[in-house]
Amino acid sequence: MNSQTVLFNSYLKQNFSLQGRSAQAWMAILGFVLLTIACYFAGAAAMLRVVYPVTALVVGLFLYWRHPILYIGFTWWMWFLTPLVARLVDYRVGWDATRQMLIAPYLVVFVTIITFLRHLPSSYRQGGLPFILAFIGVIHGFLVGLIYNSQIPVARALLDWISPIIFAFHLFINWRDYPSYRQNIQRVFLWCVLLTGIYGIYQFVVAPEWDRYWLIESKLFSSSGKPIPFGMRVWSTLHSVGPFGSVMQTGLLLLFTSSGPLIFPASAAGYLSFLLAQARTNWGGWLLGVIMIMASAKVRVQMRLITIILVMAMCVVPLTTIEPISKVVTSRLETFSNLQEDGSFKDRSGSYDRNLGLALSNVLGNGLGNTWKVNEKTGQIEIFVIDSGILDMFFTLGWFGAIPYIGGLILMIVNVSKYGEARFDGFISAARAIAISSFTQLIIGSGMLSVAGMILWGFFAMAMAGHKYYQQQGIRS
């Protein structure tokens, strides 16, 4: 048997092996979906509050070991869809103040702690210092939290803080698979923009009963609108307006790097729902991201981006002239001209005036779990929202934790700003823009936690992975 035959047989064996694993992975995902649907419609919806997170973890572990690329996509979809599943379950069996189903995406992400522990000893030499610094900062907050706060809130907060870091580390350390990861993330966010955009428009026009029920029970009227048609601020399948704004901002920026027949319908639905979310912070983040992508692109790519933006404007602007959409969007845009009188702006400014000095004087910090308190009347764990990521870092981590955490973020900004690969790889350009624009939003929100944190840390990691991949390939800009 000659060498060519041996190579051909090896290729066939590897190819069929990958196909077999892919089929098994899709069967696991499909089984998870069918089990969820069966429980919901077979009168066992209440069981999903336990079955759903546990099954998601099992599927996540299976995909992590057997099909790492699909694991990445599955993880993102868990963040996108789990809040909607939780609302549907609540609508059917009653309100769950603990929101325990929302733990599912965190459990799926926590699987990557395996990657972190396995590669931590060698990660410094590979450029993983930012993740190590941030991890040290969070562990400091965790240890302080164990001293000052209840164990359950500390554990819950640990998932919030640590999940984005270890997931991002997983993306970075697997830089050799950067092309596959890039393709998967582009495809996932394309479908996310299309589907969540369509549902967001439906949510605004119809106000589904399960979304109205969630809004009434959560009492978030000031931030999410009224539980009536044309009265809601859109949050689509996500947990609230803020996370939806972060996801849609990211997806719309990534669309500039994608191609195919779904781009235009996805953009039309995405931009319209993005406007209906009335998320001004994310509107500004999107604009900053576009400017950064344009600044790093070659002239030919700049012209293409301008053409895409003009075409999208032609598709979306006419839709915004229809009442009552026009009234909602116009009134929100008008607040930019008079921010000093805006209630949200006043609240955030007041929060800084009251708390900045107190936060900066907190050397050790209050520890993880300090924003999660047990309601003495209901016995349920509730979160106290701090409308500033900077304040949250210093209150929670103190100087000893916040300095390495912020240091890791700043180190990534400095590194990715130097990458010349952004001139020929549009994804690296978009990932860098997404990550830096997300970082700027920490001034007015805790965007380092939950799905916003996944975006912040994850896209920094993808830009770093792309840079390392091209370095090893010997490709320069």
DSSP-assigned states of every residue in 38-98: HHHHTT-GGGHHHHHHHHHHHHHHHHHHH-HHHHHHHHHHHHHHHHHHHHHHHHHH---TT
The whole-number pLDDT of residue 469 equals 95
Residue 450, Ramachandran bin (φ over 0: left; ψ between -120 and 50: alpha; else beta): left
Reply yes or no on whether the pLDDT at 345 is more than 60.
no
Q: Is residue 105 part of a domain?
A: yes
Torsion of CA 407, 160, 227, 217, to 10 degrees: -140
Tell me which residue of 202, 210, 122, 216 sits closest to 169, measured CA to CA. Answer: 122
In degrees and rounded to multiples of 5, residue 381 shows phi and psi of: -85, 130
> Model confidence at 358, in pLDDT bands (50, 70, 90)?
confident
In a domain, 429, yes or no: no
Q: pLDDT tier at 69 (50, 70, 90 boundaries)?
A: very high
Question: How far apart are alpha carbons 64 and 72 in whole angstroms?
Answer: 8
C-alpha closest to that of 247 among 1, 459, 24, 471: 459
Q: Could you tell me if residue 61 is inside a domain?
A: yes
Per the model's pLDDT, the better-predicted residue between 462 and 349 turns out to be 462
Q: Are 139 and 404 in contact (CB under 8 A)?
A: no
CB contact at 8 A, 397 and 140 = yes
Instruction: Evaluate whether residue 77 is within a structural domain.
Output: yes
For residue 254, is it within any domain? Answer: no
pLDDT attached to residue 6: 41
Host H or E run for residue 283: helix 280-296
Does residue 450 register a pLDDT over 70?
Answer: yes
Q: Report if residue 30 sits inside a domain.
A: yes
- Residue 292 confidence (pLDDT): 93
* pLDDT of 404 higher than 70: yes
Return the higher-pLDDT residue of 218 and 383.
Answer: 218
Nearest to 396 by CA among 135, 138, 134: 138
- When pLDDT is cut at 50, 70 and 90, the band that residue 13 belongs to is very low
Domain count, the chain: 1
pLDDT tens by residue, 248-297: 999 999 998 888 899 889 998 999 999 999 888 999 999 999 999 988 87
Is there a domain that residue 102 lies in?
A: yes
Window from 96-105, 137-146, 335-344 with minimum mean pLDDT: 335-344
Can you give the residue range of the structural domain that contains 95?
Answer: 1-111
Average pLDDT, the chain: 87
CA torsion, ordered 371, 372, 374, 375, to nearest 10 deg: 70
DSSP bridge pairs for 374? 381
Q: Is residue 84 assigned to a domain? A: yes
Instruction: Please state whether the peptide bond connecting residue 68 to the residue before it is cis, i.e. omega within 30 degrees of 0.
Output: no
Measured from the Cβ of residue 332, the count of other Cβ atoms closer than 10 Å reads: 17
Reading the block at residue 392, the tokens are: 């949250």
First and final C-alpha spacing in the chain? 43
The number of residues making up the chain comes to 477
More reliable by pLDDT, 57 or 362:
57
Spell out the alpha helix ranges (H) of 321-388: 325-334, 343-360
